[in-house]
Structure 1
Amino acid sequence: MDTKWKKWINTLCITIVIIVMSAAAIEGVNVSNRFANVMDSVSYDASFEESDVMADVMEKVIIDWAKDQGIIDKEAYYHTDDIKIPSGYKLKADLVIQPYGKKSKKSTTTYGDLESDKSAVNKVIDYKLQRNPSYNLRKNGQIERYAVNPEGLDASEFYKETSQYSLLNTLPPDFFIDDQKKQRLESLNIRLEFSTDFMNTLKTEYKQDQQMVKRCIKEAMIIVGIEVLGTILLIILFALQKNRTRFFKALDRIWWEVIAMIAICGIGCIISIPMMIAEVSRQYVNGNTAGSSVEVAMMSSYMVMPVLIGLFAICVQTTVWRLKEHNFLDSTLCVGYFRKWYRNSKERQKLEYEAMSFAEQHAKDRIRQFQIARRILIAAVILLICSISALGFVGFGLAVLGVFAIRYLTKYSDRYAEEQRDLCKLVEQIEKISNGELSAVTDIAKESAYYDYSQKLTNIGSGMEKALEAQLKGERMKIDLITNVSHDLKTPLTSIIGYVDLLSRDETLSPEARDYVQILTKKTERLKNIIADLFELAKSTSGDIKINLEVMDMRRLIEQTLGDMEDQIKEAGFGIRFRCETENTQFLGDVNRMYRVVQNVLENALKYSLKGTRIFVNITEDADHIQLEVINTASYEMNFTEEEIMERFARAEKSRSSEGNGLGLSIADSFTKNCGGEFAVKIEGDQFKVTVKFQKITNENIV
């Protein structure tokens, strides 16, 4: 996934997967709603006779009869209003009502649309209910126990039922005992008759509802499969990504435990919403809530589900990338902080170990070994002493040997520590000599094994100091010789230049003599430049030179030098391509000497470049430096090394027929180093490249 179109395909696939998962979640809400409408009356594998459908139908018929007779309020028991039953049923009820202190009243009522045709009856159900005679009656006709505790009415305490269906939970308590009307129910016999068409219609509807339950279960399983497959696809697609947005990079800074908690809560909400919808729908079916509540819950779920799926996808994305970048454990709160502390501790120990000298490291390692060995021996001796009773004489002997071993090891480790101390002193002496302190000595005792080595190092330092003094003396004499000779040559050369100038003004000279005078003028001028270069080179090499550092601009320096050399460049016939790849080109340098450096480098390129080629001048930068590069194609075979061409009087052209004197690059190198820069030459085939590098400065770090 490295091209732009593959990135867009990956993003499109992720979007499609999230949309499909969101649609499946919304469909899951609909499935929950449909399932709740039939879940209370239909069982997945139960037959019609074993289900609660028949009980609901009988409850509906009895309640409708009770409302018709005025036994209960017509506005009550509205949960049965949504139960639709077909025609073809009949209810016959025989009631015995006993007013308090009066004679009982008997009544028989019928209800329904089934005609009295026994051949049409398919199912008959009898309800029989009788007052329990074991409870005594008061004089006014009230049940004695009920009169004592009227708030604790429980009809099942006072009545007995002989049918499998209960009327006590179907009809209201005041139907059985009504203190306001001062009457009670003595007995109730209800017969329900249902026609064949009635039963067949109910069975058909039950089978349809049962098919709906099966279909809802299958759809739920498919939805779960889609969600699981979508999660797997999201993991794969996120793993194929190459780059992420700033939002996801910022998300990686959150502890993974928080991400996991959000994902778990999201999954819990995704699972809970269909369950909530099922419960609300079930309450609506049972008549305990209004239909508007179901609609509000459904619409809210439609809006919340895509948000939860998107949140879950974000949690999956950051988890996959943490695993992909191998920093999953580091991004956790529990393990990550421990790993970070452990790594920091190891890094700190490593830095502390590396901060020590070689001798200290060696001594620490060896002394630690002695300490570990001593501790092991001490533990072994203690163990042997504790087990003398079991080992007897052998254990005692081993304990004694262990004590002597500890004593010997302690004495040996002390002597070794002293040797390591002397070794540290010897290493310290080596470091001082390597840093230029050639007269460094130590106070190692003669008895030490390192005493002879320390004396040899002292002798080496003394010899090197003498050799260095002799070398410096020779260099100083060479520089003084060049300086004095250059100075002594200036006086006669000035006189020669003066007389040559006088001769050039003499109009009596013949044309041939004038040619000789012009040659003398050029040669004396060249000799004057050579002497001046020698003098400057001698001063810069000896360090006897005054440097005035100030803020300079490399771009402006190149442009000014190219402008001053415009005539010389045109005469040479070379094209110069100047390119600056940075905006900040400021550095610290000496204006006069850096101008001379650039001039010498450009003149060197003009003298030795192949005709018809171009000279490239580039200014580049890195994090801390700006760099000037001058690249040209040589007109000769460069059979020399970078070190050889930097020597004084070294000429790239072995025939030495050009006007160069071999001092230009040496002077440029010396001036650059005096200003604090780096000067380098690199040969690549026929390409000759000169590099001048300086520390880059900004407005903030200019002192």
Structure 2
Amino acid sequence: MPIGIAAVSVAVAAFCLLRLVLVQREVRSLARQLRRYNDGESSGKVAIGMPDRRLETLAAEINRHTDLIIKANAEQKRTENELRQAVANISHDLRTPLTSILGYIQLLDSKGLPEDVRREAIGVIRKRTTRLHALLNDFYELAMIDSTDYALKPGRLRLDKLIPEIMMGFYDQMKERGLEPAFELTDNPAEVWADESAVRRIVENLVVNAIRHASGTLNISLAVREGTVVFAMANAAPNLRGSDLELLFNRFYMADASRSGLSSGLGLSIARGLMAKMGGSLNATMQGDVLCLQCVWKLNRPEQDIRL
């Protein structure tokens, strides 16, 4: 073998051996970095000390996996905290009417109780029992919405006819609470592919939420915009300015930390779940001091046949 070729072969072999040694060193380094991370001694990303496309790809995948673990742990912690808060809130919401019921039952056991006091006590018990029944129904429905067994029966639905009908049913209640409804409802056909009972529940939940928490003018609108049907309710809510509005849709969240017992905090969460089931959306925005809750469905055009 000519000396030149032999020298080149030796050089190539030496280079390959050196590169193999360097690669093995980098693999050991990656293993050490990963071990330190697993032992909690490091929280940084793994790094390599030599240019190698395959090692760089390996390090990138390790770092991506590490990021996924961090996100999963954070989500687990958030879920655990939310569950603890949910259990505490459920206990409070159930305990409040139950305590009242037990108190009035003890009152009814009193001897010589005047008839008018007895009737009043029975009325309060009936009211608290109705409230407790509604709470349990809300808890059950919220649990069922996420289930695949919760089936809707969609059909062609004219929201420009249905929503005014629902709103008129709450008109007296809104006036009694000092709310001044201001309607801006489209005269154009607003047909969507949706479940009528689900739409009724969504609108009712939004109205009940407004009756419980809003004051002053309640702006109610229905419009057809760019291939969608938009139903919106807006009212002054200066106490929510600067707040994370997504919390309004969290299960069991209440803006009022005192938890007066007037609301389980489930209504908006149920409404958003039903909107998602129908392929729509429910979101909240702040425009100055005004809170706007907005439901959006796809417009069901005559030439279309939309199905869920």
User: Structure 1 residues 456, 646: CA separation in 2 closer, same or farther (over 3 Å shift)?
Assistant: same
User: Structure 1 residues 683, 470: CA separation in 2 closer, same or farther (over 3 Å shift)?
Assistant: closer
C-alpha offsets along residues 383-429 of structure 1, whole Å, 9 cap, x if unaligned? Answer: xxxxxxxxxxxxxxxxxxxxxxxxxxxxxxxxxxxxxxxxxxxxxxx
What is the CA-CA distance between 1:457 and the residue it aligns to?
Answer: 4.2
Match of 2:283 in 1: 680
What is the CA-CA distance between 1:641 and the residue it aligns to?
Answer: 2.9
The gaps in structure 2 that reach 5 residues or longer are 1-49
The 3-state SS of whatever aligns with 1:637 is helix
Distance in 1 (CA, whole Å) between partners of 2:75 and 2:278 is: 25
The 3-state SS of whatever aligns with 1:629 is strand
TM-score normalised over the length of structure 2: 0.64
Aligned residue type for 2:278: C
Match of 2:240 in 1: 638
User: Structure 1 residues 586, 638: CA separation in 2 closer, same or farther (over 3 Å shift)?
Assistant: same
User: Structure 1 residues 460, 535: CA separation in 2 closer, same or farther (over 3 Å shift)?
Assistant: farther
Match of 1:662 in 2: 265
What is the CA-CA distance between 1:661 and the residue it aligns to?
Answer: 2.2
Match of 2:139 in 1: 534
Structure 1 residue 454 and structure 2 residue 68: aligned?
no
Please give the residue correspondences for 1:286-685 in structure 2 after superposition, counting only pairs within 5 Å: 449-460=52-63, 464=68, 468=72, 510-581=115-186, 583-610=188-215, 613-634=216-237, 637-639=239-241, 640-657=243-260, 659-685=262-288
Distance in 2 (CA, whole Å) between partners of 1:685 and 1:456 is: 47
Paired residues of 1:582 and 1:619 also in contact (CA < 8 A): no
User: Structure 1 residues 552, 460: CA separation in 2 closer, same or farther (over 3 Å shift)?
Assistant: farther
Of all paired residues, the percent bearing the same amino acid is 23
C-alpha offsets along residues 235-284 of structure 1, whole Å, 9 cap, x if unaligned? Answer: xxxxxxxxxxxxxxxxxxxxxxxxxxxxxxxxxxxxxxxxxxxxxxxxxx
Distance in 1 (CA, whole Å) between partners of 2:225 and 2:171 is: 30
What is the CA-CA distance between 1:509 and the residue it aligns to?
Answer: 6.7
Distance in 2 (CA, whole Å) between partners of 1:471 and 1:650 is: 18
Paired residues of 1:631 and 1:689 also in contact (CA < 8 A): yes
Please give the residue correspondences for 1:68-217 in structure 2 after superposition, counting only pairs within 5 Å: none
The gaps in structure 1 that reach 5 residues or longer are 1-446
Aligned residue type for 2:223: T
Aligned residue type for 1:638: L
Aligned residue type for 2:59: K
What is the CA-CA distance between 1:679 and the residue it aligns to?
Answer: 0.8
Larger Rg: 1
Match of 2:19 in 1: none
What is the CA-CA distance between 1:647 and the residue it aligns to?
Answer: 2.3
The 3-state SS of whatever aligns with 2:272 is helix
The 3-state SS of whatever aligns with 2:134 is helix
Distance in 1 (CA, whole Å) between partners of 2:225 and 2:186 is: 11
* Structure with bigger RCO (C-alpha 8 Å, 6+ apart): 2
Distance in 2 (CA, whole Å) between partners of 1:584 and 1:556 is: 9
Q: CA RMSD in A?
A: 3.9
Distance in 2 (CA, whole Å) between partners of 1:584 and 1:448 is: 64
What is the CA-CA distance between 1:570 and the residue it aligns to?
Answer: 3.9
User: Structure 1 residues 585, 548: CA separation in 2 closer, same or farther (over 3 Å shift)?
Assistant: same
The 3-state SS of whatever aligns with 1:699 is coil
Paired residues of 1:589 and 1:675 also in contact (CA < 8 A): yes
What is the CA-CA distance between 1:565 and the residue it aligns to?
Answer: 2.4
User: Structure 1 residues 578, 519: CA separation in 2 closer, same or farther (over 3 Å shift)?
Assistant: same
Paired residues of 2:233 and 2:292 also in contact (CA < 8 A): yes
TM-score normalised over the length of structure 1: 0.30
Aligned residues: 239
Aligned residue type for 2:210: A
What is the CA-CA distance between 1:470 and the residue it aligns to?
Answer: 10
Aligned residue type for 2:231: L
